[in-house]
Chain A
Amino acid sequence: MKLLGLMLKNIRRNWIASILASAATIMLVLMVTLVWSVLSFLDQVTAEKSKDLKAIITERWQIPSQMPYSYAATLTEGAARTDDDIRPIDSMTWSFYGGTTDIKNRTLDNTLFAFAMEPQKLRTMMDDLDSLPPDQAAELDAAIAKMDENRLGTIVGLDRLEALGKRVGDRIKLFGINYRGIDLELEIVGTFPRGRYDKSAVIHRDYLNAAVDAWPREHNGEEHPLAQKSLNLVWIKVPDSDAFQKVADQISSSPYYSSPAVKCETASSGIGSFLDAYRDLIWGMRYLLAPACLATVAVVMSIAIGIGVRKRQMELAVMKVLGFRPRQILIMVLGESLLLGTAAGLISSWATWYLVNNLLGGIPFPIAFFPSFMIDDGALWWGPAVGGGAALLGSVWPAWSACRVKVSEVFSKVT
C-alpha cells in the first residue's frame, strides 16, 4: 500500500508530463475502442451459431438478389417436398422498397429505404428485436398490431423519422425509386427501439405485392419490370447445423429454383460473403490500425516514463541505499506506468462508451447492412486493459534501467 502511495505521488509530482502521457493514451485508446467495437460487432454477426441458426436464401449468381415472388412459398418451407424433409422453425421474406417523399427534389433526408415483410416476423426473425426489454417489446408489438390491421402502416427508425420531419401518426406518400411508378401512401404507426434500426423502415409486404399485382391493370396488361424480381431475400431459422445442411441440400437439389438459381447459406457466412468487399478495410483495421495505436501508446509511455526515470536517477539510487531491492524499484516504476495507462484507458473507454451509446446513438460507420455501430460493453474492461497493458509494455525498458541503477556510479557523478 505504501509503495502504491509512493507511485501516486510520483505520478502527481510531474503532472504536466503525466497529463500529456495520459492525454495521448486517452486518444489512442479511443481509436482502439472504436476500431475494436466495429470488429467485435462484425465478429459477432459472422460467428456461426450452433443452435437456432439463421440462413439466407438469395439468388445464386447476382447481387443484388432478385428472385420471383413465386419462390417465396416453397423457400420459406425449406423446399420440403415430403414428410421426411426438414422444415424451418420460422422464416421471413424481404423485398426492398426505396422511395422518396419528393420525387423532383430527392435528397438523402426525404428518401426512405424499407423492408417489405410480414409485420409479425419482426419480433421472431429480426436480430435484436427478438430479445427486447418488456417495455420496448410492448411498444413494438402495439405498432405491429396496427400494421396487421392496416397494411398501409409503416414502422420507421427514429433517425429516419427525424430526417423526414415526421411523427408517429403522420401520413406520407413515397414515390418509388427502384419500383418506378409504384408510389405508396403510408401511415407511420410506430418506431423501432433506439439502436440497430434507427435508419430503417418496414412496410407490409402484402401492400407492396398488391401494388405490383395492380400494375398491369393500369398498364395495358404489362407487368412491372420488377414483378418477377420482387423477392430479394428469404430468411429461415433452423434448429441446428445438421438441419441447416439438410435444408440447404433440399433447396439446391430442387429443380424448381433453376431460373434464377438460388443459394442457401448461414446468415453469418452470408454476411461474411457480403463483407468480402470490405475485406481489405477490415484487415487494415484489425492488423494495422489497432496494433499501430497500441504500439504508439507503448512508445509514448516509454518516452514519458523514461524521461521521469532519468530525472529521478538520484532518488532511485537513494532508495537502493536505504535497502529497496531492484525488484521493488522495478515494480514501482512499472506500477506508475500501469496506473497512468489504466486510468487513461478507463477514462477513455468509459467516456467513449457513454458518449457513443447514450448520446450519439452509435458510430456512423456504414458498412454492409449496418448503418452504425455501438461500443461493445466489453470496452468497459478492455479499454483499461489496453491502456494499462500498452503502458506496461512501454515502461519495461525504463523500469529495467531504473532497477539497474548503480548506486556507486550515481553518487560518484555528484561528489
Chain B
Amino acid sequence: MGHDNTILRVTDVHKYFRRGSERVDVLSGLNLEVGEGEFFGLMGPSGSGKTTLLNLIAGLDVPSEGEVWVGSNCISRMSESQLATWRTRNIGFVFQFYHLLPVLSAFENVELPLLLLPLSAGQRRQQVETALDLVGLKDRMWHRPGQLSGGQQQRVGIARAIVTDPLLIVADEPTGDLDAKSAVEILDLLEELRSGLEKTIIMVTHDPRAARRCDRVRHLDKGQVVDGSALQGEHVEEHVG
C-alpha cells in the first residue's frame, strides 16, 4: 500500500452527519494512499461514500475525524477560506455533468479559475489556449457550452481542471453522461494527461471500462475500502497497470 512518492494520504477518516439525535456514518475509519502520477480509480455502489470521499480529497468538505493530506498540506485542518485558496492552485475538478457556465465561452470558462490567481491577461490567455489545445478544442474556444456536444463540453471541463496546473485532478464519473464513443475519447484524454503531463488523477466511476484504464482501483462499501474480490459483479482487478 505504501508509496515513496505518496501525494494523497487519507488517515482514519470518519465522516458522519446528524439526523436529529441519530448519527449517520458515511465514512468509517477510512485509510487510503495515492502515489504521484497515479491514475487511481474509486468504485462502489451508490451510497458507499465515494462522492463524500472525493469531496474530502478535493477540499470541498472536511472530515468529522481523521486527516487528509495532499502533498505537504493537511487540508482537513484548513478553514473554508484557506481551502478555497488551496483548491484554486492544487485541485482540478472534472464533473459528471460538466457544469460549465452557460453565459461564458469555452475560453472564458477555462479562464475562470485563473481569475483568482495573480496573472496578467496575457499570461491567462496563454495558459487557456495551451489547455484548450491539449484537449483539442482551440478552434472552438469562442463557442458557448450550448454550441458544443457533450464530449466537447467535457473536454472544456477537463481544460478548466488542468489550466492551473494542479497537483491533483479529481474526476467524478467523467464519462457518466457521455455516449460510448465520447467516453472513450475522454478516457484517452485523461490517460494522456497522466502519461504526458504526469498528472495524478483520482476518478470515481461506475463504469468497469473506465476503471480498466486506471493504474489502480479501490472499492468502497459502507464507508470503508474493501477488496475488489469482495464485491460481486464488479470484475475489475485491483491492480490493472
Provide the bound-state CA to CA distance between A13 and B108, in Å. 15
Confirm or deny: B75 has a beta carbon within 8 angstroms of a beta carbon on chain A. Answer: no
Are A323 and B87 neighbours in the complex by a CB distance under 8 Å?
yes
Chain B residues near A3: list those with CB within 8 A.
115
Please pick, from A12, A325, A414, the residue contacting B84 in the complex, using a CB distance under 8 A: A325
State which residues 84-103 of B face A: CB under 8 Å. Answer: 84-85, 87-89, 93, 95-97, 99, 101-103
Q: A13-B102, A315-B101 are in contact. Are A415 and B172 (CB under 8 A)?
A: yes
From A9, A319, A323, A412, B51 is in contact (CB under 8 Å) with A412
Interface centre among A322, A407, A414 (most CB of B within 10 A): A322
- Is B60 in contact with A323, judged by CB distance below 8 angstroms? no
Least CB distance, B19 to chain A, in whole angstroms: 14
A415: contacting residue among B61, B80, B173, CB under 8 A = B173
Are A322 and B81 in contact (CB-based, < 8 A)?
Answer: no
**A50 interface residue per 8 A CB criterion:** no
A269 close to B (CB within 8 Å): no
Q: Which of A6, A13, A323 contacts B116 (CB 8 A)?
A: A323
The listed residue with most A CB atoms (<10 A of its CB), out of B55, B85, B111, is B55
A209: CB under 8 A from chain B?
no
- In the bound complex, residues from chain B placing their C-beta under 8 Å from that of A10 are 103
CB-based contact B60/A408 at 8 Å: yes
With contacts A3-B115, A322-B93 taken as known, whether A408 is within 8 angstroms of B52 at the C-beta atoms is: yes
Contact: B97 with A322, CB < 8 Å? no
Residues of A near B58 (CB, < 8 A) are 321
Q: Is the CB of B52 within 8 A of A324?
A: no
Q: Check: B160 CB closer than 8 A to any chain A CB.
A: yes
When the two chains form their complex, are residues A323 and B103 in contact, meaning their CB atoms are under 8 A apart? no
- Contact: A318 with B81, CB < 8 Å? no
> Is there contact, CB below 8 Å, between A2 and B104?
no
The contact of B55 among A13, A315, A326, A407, by CB within 8 Å, is A407
| Cβ contact within 8 Å between B102 and A322 | no
Query: By CB atoms of chain A within 10 A, which of B55, B93, B101, B112 has the most?
Result: B101
Q: Is B96 within 8 A of A415, CB to CB? A: yes
Does the CB pair B103–A324 fall under 8 Å? Answer: no
Residues of B within 8 A of A151 (CB): none
Q: Return chain B residues, CB-CB under 8 Å to A320.
A: 60, 84
Shortest CB distance A3–B (Å) = 7
- Whether, in the assembled complex, B113 has its beta carbon less than 8 Å from a beta carbon of chain A, the answer is yes
Which A residues are within 8 Å of any B CB, using their own CB?
Answer: 2-3, 6, 9-10, 12-13, 314-315, 318-326, 328, 407-408, 411-412, 414-415
Residues of chain B having any CB pair with chain A under 8 Å: 51-52, 55, 58, 60-61, 80-81, 84-85, 87-89, 93, 95-97, 99, 101-104, 111-113, 115-116, 160, 172-173
15 contacts between A and B (CB under 8 A): A2-B111, A12-B103, A314-B99, A319-B101, A322-B87, A322-B88, A322-B93, A322-B112, A323-B84, A323-B88, A325-B84, A325-B85, A408-B60, A414-B97, A415-B173
